[in-house]
Homo-oligomer: A and B are copies of this chain.
């Protein structure tokens, strides 16, 4: 097979500065990426049972588009680890064992801890610190009632995501954010999809946030790393405990899923 060097578009390569408008957040998202996001949500929500085959024609009829963007979306999801692909057999929803969920948390704990330590080591700018402080303040406000209002759960979750995402983004290491995001693709192993309903545990978790930001502000990277690691590890323990309880008593499906203190 011959070796041919593709010629590059000189203008775009050399002077990207003259195309500022093109770089803006136009986001003329293609339908394939929309489908991918759509299916991603539904898979993470547990709508498709693990092992379910994702038939392309079926999906195309269901969504009213042709197979081409479907295929692209499925390939994308397979690369993200949500689907399993076998040549000439198609895609199927990946089944995650409890052990894999634990493994995802284990890696996530290390990566987020590293990101947190890097933030402390390198220092954050004042606007970023202000953003994190705003997260703390919002959490304080939501928890000030002394109990957890179900209506406050969604905003608390959003705040939690922003706190963690900000630290990841400002760590200066783009791979940390990428990989942690992949960990969140494991169903149930994500703060984004699920959050505890126990006021005590959430309060403690939010107190961790306070300490984490303090460690970052005082540039104590060791402490910041240790705090974040424990913060995530404990979340995994709570979740795994809940999964155990659910498995032990699958009949009470609508039970409040109250986690108990692990110690």
Contact = CB atoms under 8 A, between A and B. Distances in A.
A9 interface: yes
B75 A179 contact: no
Contacts of A55: 6
B111 A174 contact: no
Nearest to A12: B51
**Interface size range on A against B:** 35 or more
Nearest to A1: B63
Contacts of A100: 174
Interface stretch (A27-35, A211-219, A249-257): A27-35
Contacts of A52: 6-8
A92 to B, nearest CB: 8
Interface stretch (A79-87, A125-133, A190-198, A235-243): A79-87
Contact of A114 (B8, B68, B107): B107
A140 interface: no
A150 B210 CA distance: 56
14 contacts: A5-B49, A6-B48, A8-B49, A8-B52, A12-B51, A29-B87, A30-B87, A75-B79, A104-B175, A106-B173, A107-B111, A110-B110, A110-B111, A175-B182
Interface of A: 1-9, 12-13, 27-30, 33, 38, 42, 47-49, 51-55, 58, 62-63, 68, 71-72, 75-76, 79-81, 87-88, 99-100, 103-104, 106-107, 110-111, 114, 172-176, 178-179, 182-183
